[in-house]
């Protein structure tokens, strides 16, 4: 690791060159920020926006000439902070903080933040893939979050098989299972000539990937924020925190009227195989966004909870004769953390972080 320190009168800026690190941001930032080059800044908080898809901080930072530069800092979704029991009380306007994040690829005073050292002297991990930095040598402690114990007890008491809240966010943002439909994996899919041409035209820099995105199936299943399975009469609703999305799973195929139009969620019919939920989905809207999807795509999904309810294994098979030469199978898993709930996403709307 190489560090460069630019001396300033009271506030320092560091550039840290690191080996490639794990990146699990559910809205890709690689077109705007370089995850292989880390920047550390120290400054005074001038603005805070607790919102999705990314929280935003504005800092006044002194450069090597002693001039004050306003830095724009983006970071993870609110659900990532809530998963750690973090509230908005951790930061106030006027606080002096240190932040480590990914360097801008646009040569601007901006970064995608991963770690913050609070005025209290405690570190907070801000996004998935972050690892202890300021607290790595033991001189600084990670901030201990707090959860609503009454809500946790209710969640434990009411959990029933698959019907509970599931998350890929573990303790201290550890993710036991990797994501699905990641860029590297998508590039290796067995595309048809048409599928490859569509994929090759994908340019993340030309898309608003730092803003609100209406995810379609199957890409929606890659998001790391909580989801909950809820009974709705004889049907099942999967409620995602991501973009407040809801999937209806029709459990009676005789009453599941096939829609005339294609939609982002598609038309899903489910059945039970023991404790496992098996879902077939079609009528999905065409998409050229990251993963090429034609109107002929069909999905076969299996959600299988563990006997103790602590883990939900997932397998999805994607068949698309227009875009793929052969079916593609992806697997991942979620964990049950009763202290986590599905909150309102309300993209780009300021919220209370509690």
**Segment 40-51, tens digit of pLDDT:** 999 999 999 999
> Are 301 and 288 a contacting pair, CB within 8 Å?
no
pLDDT tens for each residue of 51-60: 999 999 999 9
Provide the mean pLDDT of the chain: 88
Distances (CA, A) of 56 to 22, 198, 211, 284, 300: 22, 33, 12, 33, 38
Contacts of 219 (CB under 8 A, 6+ apart): 181, 287, 289, 290, 291
Strands 68-74 and 328-335: unpaired
Chain Cα centroid distance, residue 173: 11
82-141: per-residue pLDDT in tens? 999 999 999 999 999 999 999 999 889 999 999 999 999 999 999 888 899 999 988 899
Domain ranges of the chain: 2-142, 151-335
Report whether pLDDT(293) > 60.
yes
Check whether 24 has a pLDDT greater than 50. Answer: no
**18: pLDDT strictly greater than 90:** no
Cα–Cα distance, 236 to 234 (Å, whole number): 7
Position 279 pLDDT exceeds 90: yes
Kindly calculate the radius of gyration of the chain based on its CA atoms and give it in whole angstroms.
22
Helix (H) or strand (E) holding 98: strand 96-104
Note the pTM of the prediction, 2 decimals: 0.87
Per-residue pLDDT at 28: 55
Q: Return the minimum-mean-pLDDT range out of 3-12, 28-37, 160-169.
A: 3-12
Nearest to 323 by CA among 285, 295, 300, 299: 295
- Give the pLDDT score at 149: 95
Within 8 A by CB and 6+ apart from 248, the residues are 232, 235, 236, 237, 265, 268
206, pLDDT greater than 90 = no
Q: How many CB atoms lie within 10 A of CB 351?
A: 16
* Of the options 1.10.238.10, 2.40.50.140, 3.90.1150.10, 3.30.70.141, the CATH number for the domain spanning 2-142: 2.40.50.140
Which superfamily does 151-335 belong to? Calycin beta-barrel core domain (2.40.128.20)
């Amino acid at each position: 690791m190489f560090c460069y320190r630019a001396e300033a009168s009271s506030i320092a800026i560091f550039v840290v060159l690191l080996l490639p690190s794990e990146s699990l941001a559910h809205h890709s930032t690689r077109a705007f920020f370089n995850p292989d080059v880390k920047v550390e800044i120290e400054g005074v908080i001038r603005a805070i926006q607790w919102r999705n898809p990314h929280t935003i901080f504005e800092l006044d930072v002194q450069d090597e000439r002693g001039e004050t530069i306003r830095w724009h800092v983006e970071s993870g979704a609110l659900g990532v902070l809530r998963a750690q029991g973090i509230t908005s009380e951790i930061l106030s306007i006027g606080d002096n903080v240190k932040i480590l994040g990914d360097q801008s690829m646009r040569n601007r005073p901006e970064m995608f933040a991963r770690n913050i050292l609070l005025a209290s002297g405690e570190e907070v991990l801000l996004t998935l893939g972050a690892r202890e930095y300021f607290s790595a040598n033991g001189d600084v402690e990670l901030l201990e979050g707090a959860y609503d114990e009454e809500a946790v007890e209710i969640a434990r008491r009411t959990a029933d098989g698959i019907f509970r809240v599931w998350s890929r966010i573990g303790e201290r943002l550890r993710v036991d299972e990797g994501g699905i439909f990641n860029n590297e994996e998508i590039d290796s899919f067995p595309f048809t000539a048409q599928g490859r041409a569509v994929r090759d035209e994908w340019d993340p820099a030309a898309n608003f990937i730092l803003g609100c995105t209406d995810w379609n199936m199957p890409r929606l299943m890659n998001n790391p924020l909580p989801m909950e399975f809820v009974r709705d009469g004889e049907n099942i609703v999967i409620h995602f925190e991501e973009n407040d999305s809801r999937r209806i799973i029709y459990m009676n195929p005789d009453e599941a009227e096939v829609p005339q139009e294609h939609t982002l969620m598609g038309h899903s019919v489910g059945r039970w195989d023991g404790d496992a939920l098996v879902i077939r989905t079609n009528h999905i809207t065409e998409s050229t966004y990251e993963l090429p999807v034609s109107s002929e795509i069909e999905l076969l999904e299996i959600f299988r909870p563990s006997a103790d309810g602590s883990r939900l294994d997932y397998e999805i098979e994607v068949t698309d004769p227009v875009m793929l030469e052969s079916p593609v199978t992806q697997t991942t898993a979620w964990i049950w953390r009763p202290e986590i709930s599905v909150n309102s996403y309300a993209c780009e709307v300021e919220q209370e972080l509690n």
